[in-house]
Structure formats: structure tokens, C-alpha cells
Amino acid sequence: MKMEKIERIERKLIAKGTIVDYYHDTVQIPNGNIATWDFIGNKGAAAVVPIREDGKIIMVRQYRNAIDRETIEIPAGGLNTPEEPTMEAAARELEEETGYKTEQLEFLISIKTTVAFCNENIDIYVARNLQPSKQNLDEDECINVETYSVDELCEMIYAGKIEDSKTVSAILAYKNKYL
């Protein structure tokens, strides 16, 4: 069964933010009704699963204002521009957040984080052959670096201790592809 086309009539910028822009979209749905939908525009992001030589994964623990608590996540960050290559952004975020760098990044998976109202896309890479460097956090970041085995991370996912969608997707994709 083919779905009838929904037509966007207008996209109106409501607020411009540092990370996202908020819009009201006016759309005509197939039954003839006009609806207003929220849309969050985002430049995109990149993330990385850093694998140590012993197989443990380097994770970052940080406070997230939206959920008012600390999370354990893979290193990630927004693109500086929509045109920035995601592999470059992943390498940058790896070094900035963990204090490690690498020349060996391999594409793992691409995800859309919240398809109901946001266009954010995150390309996720696996990093190996990690070399110590220097953590270089943004002035609004406070990050602790921790390491876990894949099994420990999976246990935390299934126990509801890791809920971040990019991290859940990345850890499970990594386990499925490489282990």
C-alpha cells in the first residue's frame, strides 16, 4: 500500500539556538487537513567507539541538562558546519573528550536520533590504535573518562543505566559486527 504524499506548505523559524533551530512547519496531510508540526533543525554530529588494545571501550561520563543527571556515553559532538566531514569531527571529539587520538577510524553506523521531530544524523566510527594525547574540553564541558568491557556496557544498557540512543546503537552494532 502506497502512502499518500504529505506536502510542507511553510517552514517558519521560531528560535535560533547554538545547537538547534526550532521551526513550525505547516503541512497539508492527505485527508486535506492542515497541521502544524514542530521541527528541530540540527547540523548533524559524529561519534566514536574508542577501542583500547585490551578490548575495553573508552566512555565519557558527563552531566546532561535535558535529563538532569550524569550519563555514560561514547564520545561525540556536533559538526562545526553541515559540510564538515563526520570522520574529521569524530577524530576531533575523540581527542577533545578522551585525550586520545588515532589515525585509524572505521565507519560503523549512521543513525537518525529522533525522526518524529528532528533531522539530527550521527555518523558513528570505531577507533583503534589509540595514542595518548591531551584532553581539550570545551569551556562548558566537564567529562570523566572511564573504560568498560563490551559485556559490562551491554549489562548497563539492558539494566536501563545507559539510555543514550547513539551509545546504545553504537555498542550493540559494534558487538554484532566485531564480536
Residues designated catalytic: 139
Q: Judge whether 151 and 179 are in contact, CB under 8 Å.
A: no
Rounded to whole angstroms, the Cα distance separating 73 from 16 reads 27
Q: Judge whether 33 and 54 are in contact, CB under 8 Å.
A: no
Which one, of 139, 134, 171, lies nearest residue 156 by Cα?
Answer: 171
Q: Judge whether 151 and 145 are in contact, CB under 8 Å.
A: no
* Number of other CB atoms surrounding residue 128 within 10 Å: 14
Fill in the amino acid letter for 128: R
Residue with grid cell 559532538, as numbered in its chain: 77
Residue 120: is it exposed, middle or buried by C-beta count within 10 angstroms (0-12/13-18/19+)? buried
